[in-house]
Structure 1
Amino acid sequence: MRPDFVTPAPLVAGDRVGVLSPSFAAPGVFPAVHDLAMRRLRDEFGLEPVEYPTTRRVGASPRDRAADLLAAFADPTVRAVLATIGGEDQLTVLPYLDPDIVTANPKPFLGYSDNTNLLNWLWNLGVVSYHGGSTMVHLGRGGGVHPVSGGSLRDVLFTRGDRELSQVDAFIEDELDWDDAASLDATAPTVPAPGWTWHQPDRVVTAPTWGGNLEILHWNLAADRWIRPADDYAGCVLLLETSEEMPSADEVFRMLRNAGERGLLGQFPAVLVAVAKASNLRRDATMDQRRRYRAGQREAVLRALAMYNPSAMAVFDVDFGHTDPQWILPYGGSVTVDGPARRVIAHYGPPGPKRSLGNAVPAPVGP
Structure 2
Amino acid sequence: MTERTLDILRPAPLAPGSLVRIISPALPSMAFATVRAERARAALEGLGLRVDFSPNCFEVSDDGWSAGTPQMRADDLHGAFADPEVAAVLCAAGGSTSAELLPHLSPSVFADNPKPLIGRSDNIVLSAFLENRARVSSFVGVTYVFQFGELAVPGETLNSFRQVLMAGDPVTYQVSASRTMGGRNWRMLAQDETPLERPRSGHHDWLRPGVGSGPLLGAELSVLPRLVEAELLDPTGCVLWWDSLKPELSYVHERLEQLAKLIDFRTLNGMLIGDNPWVDYEEWLALIAGFVDRHLGGTDFPIFVGGDCGHYDPAWVLPYGDRLVLDSERGVIYRDGEETGYDDHIRGGKDVR
TM-score by length of 1: 0.83
Q: CA shift at 1:74, angstroms?
A: 0.6
Look up the match of 2:211: 204
Look up the match of 2:241: 239
Look up the match of 2:335: 347
Look up the match of 2:290: 303
Q: Is contact 2:11-2:344 (8 Å) kept?
A: no
**Secondary structure in 1 matching 2:223:** helix
Larger CA deviation: 249-258 vs 11-20? 249-258
CA RMSD of aligned residues (A): 2.2
**Residue 259 of structure 1 aligns to which amino acid in structure 2?**
L
Q: Is contact 1:18-1:81 (8 Å) kept?
A: yes
Counterpart among 8, 12, 15 of residue 15 in structure 2:
12
Look up the match of 2:144: 135
Q: CA shift at 1:342, angstroms?
A: 5.6
Following the alignment from structure 2 to structure 1, what is the Cα–Cα distance between the partners of residues 235 and 206?
Answer: 22
**Secondary structure in 2 matching 1:345:** strand
Q: Which runs of 5+ in 2 are unaligned?
A: 62-67, 346-353
**Secondary structure in 1 matching 2:325:** strand
Q: Deviations 1:65-122 (Å, cap 9, x if unpaired)?
A: 0010000011111011101110001111111001111100010111110011011111
Q: CA shift at 1:306, angstroms?
A: 2.5
Following the alignment from structure 1 to structure 2, what is the Cα–Cα distance between the partners of residues 264 and 227?
Answer: 16
Larger CA deviation: 73-82 vs 31-40? 31-40
TM-score by length of 2: 0.86
Counterpart among 38, 42, 47 of residue 39 in structure 1:
42
Q: Deviations 1:195-220 (Å, cap 9, x if unpaired)?
A: 2122121x211221110222111333
Following the alignment from structure 2 to structure 1, what is the Cα–Cα distance between the partners of residues 43 and 323?
Answer: 29
Q: CA shift at 1:226, angstroms?
A: 3.7
Q: Is contact 1:131-1:212 (8 Å) kept?
A: no
Look up the match of 2:27: 24
Q: Deviations 1:270-326 (Å, cap 9, x if unpaired)?
A: 111112241xxxxxxxxxxx31xx444433333333333222421111112211111
Which 4+ runs in 1 deviate beyond 6 A?
A: none
Larger CA deviation: 31-40 vs 192-201? 192-201
Following the alignment from structure 1 to structure 2, what is the Cα–Cα distance between the partners of residues 57 and 250?
Answer: 37
Following the alignment from structure 2 to structure 1, what is the Cα–Cα distance between the partners of residues 30 and 190?
Answer: 12
**Secondary structure in 2 matching 1:275:** coil
Sort the Cα spacing of 1:204 and 1:2 in 2 relative to 1 into closer, same or farther, 3 A: closer
**Secondary structure in 1 matching 2:272:** strand
Number of aligned residues? 328
**Secondary structure in 1 matching 2:127:** helix
Look up the match of 1:121: 129
Counterpart among 51, 55, 59 of residue 53 in structure 1:
55
Look up the match of 1:270: 270
Following the alignment from structure 2 to structure 1, what is the Cα–Cα distance between the partners of residues 163 and 81?
Answer: 21
**Residue 330 of structure 1 aligns to which amino acid in structure 2?**
P
Sort the Cα spacing of 1:338 and 1:2 in 2 relative to 1 into closer, same or farther, 3 A: closer
Following the alignment from structure 2 to structure 1, what is the Cα–Cα distance between the partners of residues 161 and 28?
Answer: 22
Identity %, equivalent residues: 26
Following the alignment from structure 1 to structure 2, what is the Cα–Cα distance between the partners of residues 213 and 72?
Answer: 26
Following the alignment from structure 1 to structure 2, what is the Cα–Cα distance between the partners of residues 269 and 299?
Answer: 22
**Residue 313 of structure 2 aligns to which amino acid in structure 1?**
D
Counterpart among 170, 174, 178 of residue 162 in structure 1:
170
Sort the Cα spacing of 1:269 and 1:330 in 2 relative to 1 into closer, same or farther, 3 A: same
Following the alignment from structure 1 to structure 2, what is the Cα–Cα distance between the partners of residues 160 and 196?
Answer: 26
**Secondary structure in 2 matching 1:210:** strand
Matches for 1:324-335 after TM superposition, within 5 Å:
324-335=313-324
Q: Is contact 1:29-1:58 (8 Å) kept?
A: no
Matches for 1:75-114 after TM superposition, within 5 Å:
75-114=83-122
Look up the match of 2:65: none
